[in-house]
Amino acid sequence: FSEQDLFQQKTKLQQAIEKLTSHLDHEHLNFAIPEFKKVVPTTENILLYFENKISKLRLRTTLSFLKLFESENLWSEKYYVTK
């Protein structure tokens, strides 16, 4: 990848994360987000929700990890093994 390609992918990812977080911020997730009508919105499940949405971006790069903070002492993380 060229430096420009990486910059574009990073920008695309940042914009998607900002959109997702603003959509979830200060919402009762069980009512506002269809995916959480039957799934408890734990930090782990919210991370999986983010993973699902990010995977649909079809980035040309692969994620190495996702880390979602609910508070300073509460977070969930997932690491990806690439070959």
Beta bridge partners of 68: 76
pLDDT in tens, 24-48: 888 899 999 999 999 999 999 999 9
pLDDT in tens, 52-72: 998 888 887 788 889 999 899
- CA gap 48, 39 in Å, rounded: 11
Handedness of CA 71, 45, 53, 20 (dihedral sign): negative
Q: Where are the alpha helices (DSSP H) in 1-83?
A: 3-24, 29-32, 43-55
With pLDDT > 70 as the criterion, what percentage of the chain qualifies? 98
- For residue 63, what pLDDT is reported? 82
Residue 74, pLDDT > 90, answer yes
pTM value?
Answer: 0.82
